[in-house]
Structure 1
Amino acid sequence: MARRAVHHGRRALSAQPFAAACFHCGLPVALGSSWSVRIDGAPRPMCCPGCEAVAQGIVEAGLADYYRTRSVFADRAEGVDLVPPELALYDSATAATAATAGEAREGVFSLDGIRCAACVWLIERRLARLPGVREAQVNVATERLHMTWDAALCKPSDIVQALRGIGYTAYPYQAAQHGAQLERHRKKQFRQLFVAGLSMMQVMMYALPAYIADEGTMDAPMAALMQWASLLLTIPAVLYSAQPFFRGAWASLRARMPGMDLPVAIGIGAAFGASVLATLRGSGEVYYDSVTMFIFLLLASRYLEQMARRKAARALEDLQRALPASAQRLSKWPGSRQATMVAAASLAEGDVILVEPGSAVAADGIILEGYTDVDLALLTGESRAQARVPGDELPGGAINTTQAIVLRVTRVASDSTLARLVKLVEKAGQGKPRIAQWADQVAAWFVVGLLLLTVAVFIGWQLVDPARAWQVAIAVLVVSCPCALSLATPTALAAATDALVRRGVLVVQPHVLETLQRATHIVFDKTGTLTEGRPVLRHVEPLAGLTAARCLQVAAALEAGSAHPLALAIRTAGADGGLRADQLHSEAGQGVEGVVDGVRYHLGRDGYAGAAPVAVWPDVSNVYLGANGIVLARFELADALRADAPEVVRRFRARGQTVILLSGDDQAVVSRTGAALGIDTAIGQQLPEQKLAYVQQLQAAGAVVAMVGDGINDAAVLRAADVSFAMGGGAALAQLSADCVLLSNRLAALDDAATGAARALRIIRQNLAWASVYNCVAIPAAAFGLINPWLSAAGMSLSSAVVVINALRLRRMKAA
């Protein structure tokens, strides 16, 4: 009867004893089957028309090398010619804006069916041959495909159909589906852990009598029965629960970079093999209890580590899930309030939508009707609800918490604030910081050195005490722990990233924390970065009989319906006045007049209100209030410093870092701002290219530069800096060019990032120090025979737990 070998849960190429096996998927081929494909000059049998079609497609695409380089069979191909109807909707949604030749689109797809490195090679090369595809990158770890294509030449359904044509299932990435896939993986990990734990407990029941039995109290047949029972109970743990270690070891060997799974897999295989041999011979040491304990303890530490990393990444996943898929469009507003449910992707600029309480805003817009409170915690990290009134802007992804509002869309859903942040999230976590790359390299050399040491130890004990040579060699393999190098470092970075997201800091590039910690110069833009970026009321100067408070209340009433930035500043400052203005009339470029409590007032420029002009700083605007030819008050408005700017600058200077103000504003204004903040170097009147040249000059002198900005004119210098930060309320181009986005729009979040970077690097160093001390003590102890295999397993698992728990301390940073 034909048998099918299993290689770590997948069909292995080297273990197929039957001839009639499908060349594509490895399943048995039915007698009389006529399906076949000519590959490498010979007809290859296929089990079904699906596999035949896929294999033929691979060969016709000139990609037959896939079959020579793969390490495991592909999944059986079924229904490969079908494209789900949902893809047509996806094409329609992405085509909401007409595609023009040369217009680039980006997308992320989830992949099913990846088996080995050859799969990545096959997918990327097949997609590279599609018309209009500019870039295709497969992330094996996340099973995602990142694509860039010409919208006029290619559609998402073309990409999915091409992948199905070579045997892979793909669909546009959705956080919910991807989360379900991760949940399935978690459940499998738990099942493996459960089987290992069950095996360990049962094996211990049979191993314990042998440990406690006195000389001659257990006869040979009973001892043999105990060993055979232990063997049968250990097999599920080795063949099922230990799959991740064997699979990881094989992958690291193929990549020619030995990883931490290699000594683990060798240790498990050697201990189990020696035990089976001793059981068959009826003499020698058996290690079934050590094998099952080692598998269980290491799986437990990995399970906890994975849960910790998943918990740390949850904030980013919440951000991805927050964008609603639908919206209620009011097509005939204000004549009719009848709403129609439409896809959020189909909204166009100018559409009017209804946002009910408890719903998320589908796209950026301006409130036309309704007073409410909104929850911006997911976007900014701000936990308190914020009041919004007609005329205020709302970002996509904000949660309406109080009452229904009517909103006019100002940016389509695909370009909303939250959508841009989701794109940034997609970029986040794609690479590794240098310290993690260094740790991986050190771990690889560590494993090679450990294997050489194990061989030397085995040879040495063969000369001293051959009976203990195998046991000691296994203990050396098992006790080693490169986990702090290749596991706990990314755990620390994930925990720190999670804590910063809850503080309103989105880390986009992997090197942010490491580079910020090394930064020697912190360069700030002025407007919108150190300052609010909008005028605020700085001072009210009464000039007649009215008090400053009364003048402000009157001015706020006159500006109640104006959208001018200066009017907004006055209205915000005097919002609690409760006065109402009638007979309002405005003159463009001059001001506004109206009647408040029976008195006609004029508010505006000096001549309009009857006042003489007053000399002011270049960044200060004066607005005057007058009535009956008498000037009542002068309002000074200016772009004010952020409340947290002085403290942030002070903290960076206290760390020994040089703070520089680099702005395009007038030099006198920049110098005054620098003096107010204690910044010695304040340079104004800088064009974008001059900012870029200045930063590059600092870098050429050996400086590590961190740049903080918010405007379109900061995009080039943000990209050129060693590490860069964009304000959450700034321009989209600046955010896309930056390495990190301060979602909360608080400058203090930058100090949170610096503090988090220092803590993360400190804990990573602690983990590395612990790993060094542990391995320097444990490995020699095992080599000298002082530690047996089961104690080695406990020691390694404890070491893994220590570094993971230490890394999770980074999550203790409280949300703002």
Structure 2
Amino acid sequence: MVSSPVTSPPASLLAPDPAPAQQRGRTGTASPGAAAQPACFHCGLPVTDAEPLAAELDGSRRVFCCGGCQALAQTLHAAGFAHLYGDEARFARPIDDDARREAEPIWAAYDTPELRSQFVRPLDGGRAEITLAPENIRCAACAWLIEQHLSRQPGVESAVANVATRRVVVRWRDGAQTVAGLLAALAGIGYMAWPFEVSRSDQQDRRARRGLLMRMAVAMLGMMQVMMYAWPIYTHEATIDPGQLQLMRWASFALTLPVVFYAASPIFAGAWRSLRQRHMGMDVPVAIGIGAGFMASALATVRGVGEVYFDSVTMFVAFLLLARYLELRVRQASRSGAEMLARQLPATCERLAGVGAAGERVPVARLRAGDLVRVKAGEIVPADGTVVAGASELDESMLTGESRPVRRSAGETVLAGCFNTASPLELRVTRVGAGTRLAEIVAVLDRALAEKPRLATLADRVAGWFVATLLVLAALTGVVWGLWIDPARALLVTIAVLVVSCPCALSLATPAAMAAAGAALSRRGVLLTRGHALETLAGVTDVVLDKTGTLTEGRFAVAAVEPLAGLDQAQCLALAAAMERGGEHPIARALVAAAEAGAGVDAPVAVADMRNVPGQGLEASIAGRRLRLGRRDFVAGLAPEGATSSPDAASDCAHPGATFVWLGAESGPLARFALADLERAETPRLLAQLRVLGVRCHLVSGDNAPTVRWWGTHFGIECVAGGTTPEGKRDYVARLQQGGAVVLAVGDGINDAPVLAQAQVSIAIGSGAPLAQAGADAVLTHGGVAEIATALAVSRQTRRVVRQNLGWAFFYNVVAIPLAATGLVTAWMAGIGMSLSSLLVVANAWRLLRAGRKGA
């Protein structure tokens, strides 16, 4: 079940701010262009009363549109915020009566048990706490006004407003106040607010970022301060008094303590977990290097003799934490698609008793299949459903990646999480909660994130062996230096080996790139449902494409109109559409759509005595003429013997495989309509990009061979197979694989299940099958098939980035370890080198996130 955050308020509930900028002056009167009509000093709205409310402020008479604005202005002036009434200040006016009546049912819904448990946090002593999100909080004056007003409400113990986050935390005695009362109180002073819920993952991410930033800040500060003491020692040690030198060492020791015991504590904790689990993680050599460097320096400080490495320790910790912070941001970005989707559903909706009836505001959790709901303009669709009344445009970008709103009208399906941009809709709920398409997409993303790609698994295993080898190598280095080369430098060289060869870059090389690429593709509507998908897509040599529902829309469209008895095309379409209007058959919808697109006649055509003959067609009277529409023999039966003969059905047509529909009267046939499948708008772009990528395209379809050959010629695809069964498609792919091909199969996820399973990697068009049932390795959530080529391009770019990262990590260790073991690289150099290595790997992977932008 996806989480249900605050509902988006209706557009009419937003605090009004209609006055143009030139009327926003705080003089108490309108601008010269507004003639003699004064404007409210507080909110800027026109004042229409003959005797408006007025008050003396700063020695000037100010007029107001209502008592609320007057009270607010007087309160702000008394509190010392009079300077905010400048040309740039704009304050909201209190909510008007009509908007209040519309908002009150929504406010009351937040006091239902379902929503109270979601938004209200119980505290000890019978108290409660809630976080509110005011929509137009702008400045410190807004925060002060909100805090003062809420604090005076019955039962409220405290109210804290944060301008930066635009959140208000309110605590009150439960039973003495309601959520609706708090929302109404804020609306009364011009601030529409809604309960705000921070998801558990958001809280965890925020805590992780905040904690890592704090540790990084401590490490950076400690590093800079320690370097202030280390630099004179490096440059003028011989001239410094021994007492001052020892004092500088003690100061460095004190500054390093918080870096080691606070900033580096996650490193030591990770190393301890690895050792307890008998796994050599990347934290083990790092913790040993930091601990050994600090202990040796502390011992030298206490004894007053020997080298200290506090600068190396602090620098190493600071740069390592910086690399880990960047890696954390990449990982959290890879989850952003799923998190944003999961927060799309509103908290409340308007449930109706019947079509066109009045509704009641209820929590979305109470909806059941079959319920009727109204979704106004500016609201989010609460559940999957079918439009029963109204027509509007919906923003489906969060679900499909399509940036342009799509039109939905009666009989069409709408999905939970879409934003209604234009007009009210009445929907019959078909799926709720975990059954919605939104929930399916979130589940698919979660499943993909839970699986680890083969390359990442291999890199983890290699890193584990590398750590074990590194520890042995460091020990040997220490023994060799301690016994034969220079015992005084043995510890420093050993620490340098441990630090410089940390396998952080090796372990981050693959997962950072995979996470960034997965996030980028999910933003474009390509959901990776299997861990190996991205890796396999990079090696694809052949793409096997289905026709119906993949390269074509899978729906009828009028391909040609052939008049046969003196009428023009528009008149023939108008007659056919008049007979088919209201029909749900695909042919009926195609004829009506063609007539509407062509605007054949201005006046509606009257149809009488309509009769439907199943499997044959329609018969009706139009303007006193008896007409038939349907199969050729059925239409011909209306005409007497000897009437004008009709063209042969096998005569030339510009579209082989078309379905013919005839229109005729008693005098003979009037027209013939050729209906055919419709090419997807992005199909030419997909095929062009696939050719640029150098992959071979195959068109394999169950349609008859001549039709598939025509489509192959039309698309410019040479490898074509028609009349193929699902098993035949699977065998076709198997033959390609026997020749060494890496095959990507693309289909609708239902009748193409065998070929999707046979191919090394597969993509299902999400509009063809429920995502939960699609067995493909990736799902395209919309009809923009050109994103399939984008997935191939991004996967190849990801492969290059992974190879670059692994190559750099390998090259760095091959060069750095011998230099450290021979004493040419000191501990502080090793810390910088290791950190920069990790930073380079993460930054290189971060480039893949740009592929998620539509223009990338």
The TM-score with structure 2 as length reference comes to 0.70
Q: 1:653 to 1:792 in 2, by over 3 A?
A: same
1:231 maps to 253
Does residue 1:587 correspond to 2:608, yes or no? no
Residue number in structure 2 paired with 1:563: 584
Q: Counterpart of 2:240? A: 217
Matched AA of 2:518: T
Report the AA paired with residue 429 of structure 2.
Answer: V
Match for residue 355 of structure 1 among 375, 381, 387: 375
Count of aligned residue pairs for this structure pair = 646
- Structure 1 contact 267–477 (Cα < 8 Å) conserved: yes
One-letter identity of the residue aligned with 2:815: V
Report deviation, 1:627.
5.8
Distance 1:299 1:89, change over 3 A: closer
Q: Which residue of 2 aligns with 1:815?
A: 854
In the TM superposition, 1:191-210 aligns within 5 A as 191-210=214-233
- Alpha-carbon separation, structure 1, partners of 2:571 and 2:309: 88
Q: Is structure 2 residue 397 aligned with structure 1 residue 377?
A: yes
Change (3 A) 1:792 1:594: farther
Unpaired runs of 5+ in structure 2? 1-112, 119-196, 637-645
**Correspondence 1:762 to 2:785:** no
Q: In the TM superposition, what are the counterparts of 1:351-500 in structure 2 within 5 Å?
A: 351-462=371-482, 463-500=484-521
Does the CA contact (< 8 Å) of 1:439 and 1:485 recur in 2? yes
Deviation at 1:798, TM superposition (A): 1.6
User: Distance between the aligned counterparts of 1:455 and 1:687, measured in 2?
Assistant: 65
**Distance change in 2, residues 1:256/1:670 (3 Å):** farther
Do the aligned residues in 2 keep the contact of 1:579 with 1:596 (CA within 8 Å)? Answer: no
Who is 2:164 aligned against?
none
Could you list the per-position Cα deviations for residues 382-409 of structure 1 after superposition, in whole angstroms to 9, with x for gaps in the alignment?
Answer: 1011222222221222211112110112
Deviation at 1:505, TM superposition (A): 0.7
8 Å CA contact 1:344, 1:363 repeated in 2? no
Task: Give the 3 Å change call, closer, same or farther, for CA 344–680 of structure 1 in structure 2.
Answer: farther
Separation of aligned partners in 1, 2:117 and 2:702: 46
Structure 1 residues 291-300 or 435-444, which shifts more? 435-444
Residues 679 and 224 of structure 1, relative CA distance in 2, 3 Å threshold:
same
Deviation, structure 1 residue 428: 1.3
Tell whether 2:284 aligns with 1:262.
yes
Residues 774 and 556 of structure 1: CA distance in aligned 2, closer, same or farther (over 3 Å): farther
Q: Does 1:317 align with 2:339?
A: yes
Match of 1:290 among 312, 316, 331: 312
The answer on 1:506 being equivalent to 2:530 is no
Structure 2 vs 1, CA of residues 549 and 247 (structure 1 numbering), >3 Å: closer, same or farther? farther
Aligned to 2:180: none
Q: CA deviation at 1:810?
A: 1.4
Structure 2 equivalent of residue 53 of structure 1: none
Aligned letter for 2:203? A
Whichever residue aligns with residue 763 of structure 1, its letter is V
- Between 397-406 and 733-742, the greater mean CA deviation after superposition: 733-742
Write the distance in 2 (CA, Å) between the matches of 1:88 and 1:738.
Answer: 40
Q: Could you list the per-position Cα deviations for residues 711-738 of structure 1 after superposition, in whole angstroms to 9, with x for gaps in the alignment? A: 4222344234321111021112685311
The reply on whether 1:665 has 2:690 as its aligned counterpart is no
SS in 1 for 2:675: strand
Task: Give the Cα separation in 1 of the matches to 2:231 and 2:518.
Answer: 46
Letter in 1 for 2:332: R
SS at 1:506's partner residue?
strand
Preserved CA contact (<8 Å) 2:693 2:793: no
Distance 2:292 2:607 in 1: 93
The answer (yes or no) to whether the contact 1:557–1:579 under 8 Å persists in 2 is no
Query: How far apart, in 2, do the equivalents of 1:339 and 1:602 lie?
Result: 47
Q: Distance in 1 between matches of 2:321 and 2:624?
A: 80
**Once the 2 structures are TM-superposed, how far is the Cα of residue 491 of structure 1 from its aligned partner?**
1.5
Counterpart CA distance in 2 for 1:652 and 1:210 is 62
Cα displacement string for residues 129-160 of structure 1 (whole angstroms, at most 9, x for unaligned residues):
xxxxxxxxxxxxxxxxxxxxxxxxxxxxxxxx
Query: C-alpha distance in 2, partners of 1:418/1:623?
Result: 39
2:774 counterpart SS class: helix
State the match for 2:45 in structure 1.
Answer: none
Mark the structure with the bigger radius of gyration. 2
Please tell me whether the aligned partners of residues 606 and 612 of structure 1 are also in contact (alpha carbons under 8 angstroms): no
Summarize the Cα distance change of 1:327–1:213 in structure 2 as closer, same or farther, 3 Å threshold.
Answer: same
The alignment's C-alpha RMSD in Å is 3.0
Equivalent AA in structure 2 for residue 268 of structure 1: I
Deviation at 1:414, TM superposition (A): 2.9
Letter in structure 1 aligned against 2:406: Q
Q: In the alignment, what sits opposite 2:809?
A: 771
Instruction: Give matches, 1:152-191, under 5 Å.
Output: 176-191=199-214
Aligned to 2:5: none
CA contact (8 A) 1:709 1:734 kept: no
Residues 364 and 428 from structure 1, CA distance in 2 versus in 1: closer, same or farther, beyond 3 angstroms? same
SS in 1 for 2:450: coil
Q: Distance in 2 between matches of 1:89 and 1:715?
A: 43
- Cα 1:439–1:227 change in 2 (3 A) is same
Is structure 2 residue 328 aligned with structure 1 residue 329? no
Q: Deviations over 1:278-306 (max 9, x none)?
A: 11211111111111111111101111221
Q: Deviations over 1:630-684 (max 9, x none)?
A: 5443221112333443553455456554443343333443344344444444444
**CA contact 1:541–1:633 (8 Å) conserved in 2:** yes
Matched AA of 2:424: A
Name the aligned partner's letter for residue 426 of structure 1. Answer: D
For residues 740-798 of structure 1, give each alpha carbon's deviation from its aligned partner in whole angstroms, at most 9, with x where no partner exists.
00112222121111111111101111111222222222222222222222222122222
The separation in 2 between residues aligned to 1:643 and 1:448, in whole angstroms, is 56
Distance 2:575 2:493 in 1: 88
Partner of 1:797: 835
Per-residue deviation at 1:223?
A: 2.2
Structure 1 length-normalised TM: 0.73
Say whether residues 1:724 and 2:744 are aligned partners: no
User: Compared with structure 1, are the counterparts of its residues 272 and 557 closer, same or farther at alpha carbon in structure 2 (3 Å cutoff)?
Assistant: farther
Pick 1 or 2: higher relative contact order, CA cutoff 8 A, min separation 6. Answer: 2
Q: Is the 8 A contact 1:373 1:385 kept in 2?
A: yes
Select between 206-215 and 793-802 the one with higher mean Cα deviation.
206-215
**1:599 & 1:396 partners in 2: Cα distance?**
47
Query: CA contact under 8 A between 2:396 and 2:403: conserved in structure 1?
Result: yes
**Higher alpha-carbon deviation: 422-431 or 545-554:** 545-554
Q: In the superposition, relative to structure 1, how do residues 547 and 739 fare at CA in structure 2: closer, same or farther (>3 Å)?
A: same
CA gap 1:806/1:366 in 2 versus in 1, 3 angstroms:
same
- Cα offset for 1:686? 4.1
Instruction: Note if contact 1:361-1:400 (Cα within 8 Å) is conserved in structure 2.
Output: yes
Whether 1:645 aligns to 2:683 is yes
User: Which among 708, 712, 734 is matched to residue 746 of structure 2?
Assistant: 708
What are the superposed Cα offsets for residues 246-298 of structure 1, whole Å, 9 maximum, x if unpaired?
22222333444422222211110110111111112111111111111111111
C-alpha distance in 1 between matches for 2:404 and 2:777: 27
Partner of 1:606: 632
8 Å CA contact retained: 1:396, 1:413: no
Contact kept in structure 1, 2:350 and 2:359, CA below 8 Å? no
Who is 1:622 aligned against?
Answer: 660
- Structure 1 distance, partners of 2:198, 2:548, is 36
Q: Secondary structure of the residue that 1:518 maps to in structure 2? A: coil
Deviations 1:425-454 (A, max 9, x none): 221111221111122122222222322222
Q: Aligned AA for 1:448?
A: A
Alignment of 1:133-144 (within 5 A): none
Kept in 2: contact 1:457–1:783 (CA 8 A): yes
Matched to 2:770, the amino acid is A
Secondary structure of 2:751's aligned partner: helix
